[in-house]
Amino acid sequence: MAGPLPIGEKWPESNQLQPQNSANETFHVYVHVPFCTVRCGYCDFNTYTQQEMPGVALAEFHLALIEEIRFSKSVLDASGLSPSGISSIFFGGGTPSLFASKQIKLILDALQSSFGFAPGCEITMEANPESTTAELLSGVREAGVNRLSVGVQSYDPAVLKVLDRQHNAGNINSALGAAKSLDFRTSLDLIYGAPGESYESWQETISRSLELQTDHVSAYSLIVEPGTKLARQISKGELEAVNEDLNADKYEWATEQLEAAGLPWYEVSNFGEIAQHNLAYWQSKNWWGYGPGAHSHIAGNRFWNQKHPARYQQALEAGSPAAGLERLSERQQLEESLMLGLRTKFGVPRKLLSQLDVDPLKVAEQLSLGYLSLHGDQIAVTKQGRLLVDRLVVDFLQ
């Protein structure tokens, strides 16, 4: 969702998608809620702090999303790609917890009536600790949301300040407590590597997060996106630059602690009970992203919506909200499989490497250096290789 939109072809006037592969994949849904009360200094996601823009209102925005659900249903049906039920849904943003539970319910109803839910459908909502009330939680739980991803980021007030986050340790604990009492599965989002964050500060964040007995942790190393306030502060020298060596230390320490606490590693930044929704991205399942700037992937087509909420709504009214589309060639699909698959504990099939003409000597070298390991027909990164996935991929595809 970050950064400017890619450049692609036009959305087809026929409103039909051409499958670029014959895989019969499960169907997943992302819903983008483009509103926040405050813009965080590190964030370049597509979100807006005004809750009223010309023609756009937070309180009404679910209607646009529901309109896109209808549109997607007609596109998928017309393309012969009707899914047999939704396997996971993710409300992200922005701040989805700014929606009223009624709005979440209406969206879920629209999704269910359009596509149906597959058994065990995982429905996650992102929530900021400070905007998550007990009332909202019980409302969305009743509407069908069964997993809560809480944006903890850090327990260190100094780090939260650098990140412009509005919450504190108290908010975090009460939000988690409320979620657990309502029987949500929980995930915590953590960020390490913020300017000024010490190794000890990060240790504290991990320890205190683990006290919450969560089912899942995403631990992201801070990405300084160009154009953000944070990037400007760093380039001006007001904040120190990211130290990737220290981050590697932090990552290794976190990995030890999380795994010891029963949250096994399964993707570069993810630990614990596998999030079906996340896995859908890394295994190139079919998913439709609803809302401004949201990206979709359907059978080898990637497409993305108009970024600004007002333009999104106008485009939707005029026909399709899509701003662009790309059809992935077979080669591109294979390269993506390598790029994404190697991020996960499942790795990639050996066959994929030979399909991509990867030099076997390069693979053998990485195996001998201990960055990769072999599990039958799969090749996956070792603990040592987890932080070097991108380098390995470039090396292999060169």
Partner 1 sequence: MSTPVKQLEPSLTPPGQIRNFCIIAHIDHGKSTLADRMLQLTGIVSDREMRDQYLDRMDIERERGITIKSQAVRLPWQLDGTAYALNMIDTPGHVDFTYEVSRSLAACEGAVLLVDAAQGIEAQTLANLYLALENDLEIIPVLNKIDLPAAQPEKYAEELASLIGGSPEDCLKVSGKTGQGVKELMDLIVRRVPAPTGNADAPARAMIFDSVYDSYRGVVTYVRMIDGKLNPRDEIQMMSTKAVHELLEIGVISPEPKPSKGLSVGEVGYLITGVKDVRQSKVGDTVTTKRNPAQVALKGYAEPKPMVFSGIYPIDGSDYPNLREALDKLRLSDASLVYEPETSAALGFGFRCGFLGLLHLEIITERLEREFNLSLIATSPSVVYNVTQEDGTQMVVTNPSEYPDGKVKEVQEPMVRATLLTPKDYVGTIMELCQGKRGTMIDMQYLGEDRVQLRYRLPLAEIVFDFFDQLKSKTQGYASLDYEDDGFAPGDLVRVDLLLQGEKVDAFSAIVHKDKAYGHGVRIATKLRELIPRQQFEVPIQAAIGSRVIARETIRAIRKDVLAKCYGGDITRKRKLLEKQKEGKKRMKMVGRVEVPQEAFIAALSTDEKAGKK
Cα distances (Å, whole numbers) of residue 150 to 276, 277, 294: 17, 16, 21
**Closest distance of CB 244 from partner 1, Å:** 5
DSSP states along 17-77: PPPSS-----EEEEEEE-B-SS--TT--SS-BS-SEETTEEGGGHHHHHHHHHHHHHHHHH
Of 3 and 80, which has the nearer Cβ to partner 1? Answer: 3
**Closest distance of CB 339 from partner 1, Å:** 6
d(CA 147, CA 125): 6
Of 223 and 374, which has the nearer Cβ to partner 1? Answer: 223
**Closest distance of CB 102 from partner 1, Å:** 26
Q: Which residues pair with 186 in a beta bridge?
A: 148
Of 3 and 177, which has the nearer Cβ to partner 1? Answer: 3
What is the maximum alpha-carbon separation in the chain?
60
**Closest distance of CB 167 from partner 1, Å:** 20
**Closest distance of CB 3 from partner 1, Å:** 6
**Closest distance of CB 217 from partner 1, Å:** 13
DSSP states along 377-388: TEEEE-GGGGGG
d(CA 191, CA 205): 9
* Helical packing angle, 101-115 and 61-78, nearest 10°: 10
**Closest distance of CB 52 from partner 1, Å:** 26
Distance of CA 208 to the CA centre of its chain: 23
Of 196 and 370, which has the nearer Cβ to partner 1? Answer: 370
Give the binding site for partner 1 (CB under 8 A).
1-3, 5-6, 30, 220-223, 244-245, 247-248, 251, 268-269, 278, 281-282, 289, 293-295, 297, 302, 304, 326, 332, 335-336, 339-340, 343, 369, 371, 386-391, 393-394, 397-398
d(CA 293, CA 69): 15
DSSP states along 69-98: HHHHHHHHHHTT---SSEEEEEEEES-GGG
Of 30 and 71, which has the nearer Cβ to partner 1? Answer: 30
Of 273 and 326, which has the nearer Cβ to partner 1? Answer: 326
Q: Which of 386, 396, 277 has its CA nearest to residue 337?
A: 396
Of 216 and 343, which has the nearer Cβ to partner 1? Answer: 343
